[in-house]
Amino acid sequence: MPYVSIRVAGKLARKQKEEICKGVTEVISRVANKPPETILIFIDEVEHENIAAAGKLLQKPS
């Protein structure tokens, strides 16, 4: 059973999550030849202040 973990900075709308999950599922199903119903996707929404790049915390987009 394939599982995918996706971490994003900030919040996504439900519609965005649905589109991401649909696309990721289609690609894994096609490329790895796995039935779509066996693919699990976890989306973690992380606050910008909990992510750093180049030693600096990310800023929330304005």
DSSP string, 1-62: --EEEEEEES---HHHHHHHHHHHHHHHHHHHT--GGG-EEEEEEE-GGG-EETTEEPPPP-
Under 8 Å between Cβ of 57 and 22 = no
pLDDT of residue 58: 93
Residue keyed to tokens 């929404």: 45
- Cα 27 from Cα 21, distance rounded (Å): 10
Architecture in CATH for domain 3-57: 2-Layer Sandwich (3.30)
pLDDT in tens, 18-62: 999 999 999 999 999 999 999 999 999 999 999 999 999 999 888
Considering the entire predicted model, what is its pTM? 0.85
- pLDDT value for 62: 81
